[in-house]
Amino acid sequence: MHELSIAMRVVDLAAARCRDAGGDIVTAVTVRVGRLAAVHGGALAAAFEMAREGTPLAEATLRVVDVPVRVWCPQCRAEADLTDVVPLACPACGRPTGDLRAGHELEVESIEVVGPRGDTVGAGA
């Protein structure tokens, strides 16, 4: 389950950002996961719950934003989201395309940090 190693890296990154911002705890982390990233959102959430124990993220929420596969169609001259990745083709005209514009993402979008007085001291990634 490679989601555990990903979750551990997310926790490490968020804990470091928390320290750098002078915060006490992280309340939420938002992660963007593309459909082609080979990461299962449910498995990532379960792994995050294990990885966060004993860290400033012990009570943090993990928000997983699913990113669809988006392709560029040279015939339609437009980007389009795919509902299925087989085949990689424009949903409007059916022309095959390998020009992927989105769907490989695996990135921390935001980290919410709270300081000693309960105020938000930092957010971002």
Query: What are the structural domain ranges in the chain?
Result: 2-68+103-116
Using alpha carbons, select from 42, 108, 34 the residue that is nearest to residue 66: 34
Distance CA 21, CA 112 (A): 10
**Interval 51-97: pLDDT, tens:** 999 999 999 999 999 999 999 999 999 999 999 888 899 999 999 99
CATH 3.30.2320.50 given to domain 2-68+103-116: yes
Instruction: Report which DSSP code applies to 70.
Output: E
- pLDDT of 51 reads 98
- pLDDT of 115 reads 82
Which whole number is the average pLDDT over 5-13? 98
**Residue 82: strand, helix, or coil:** strand
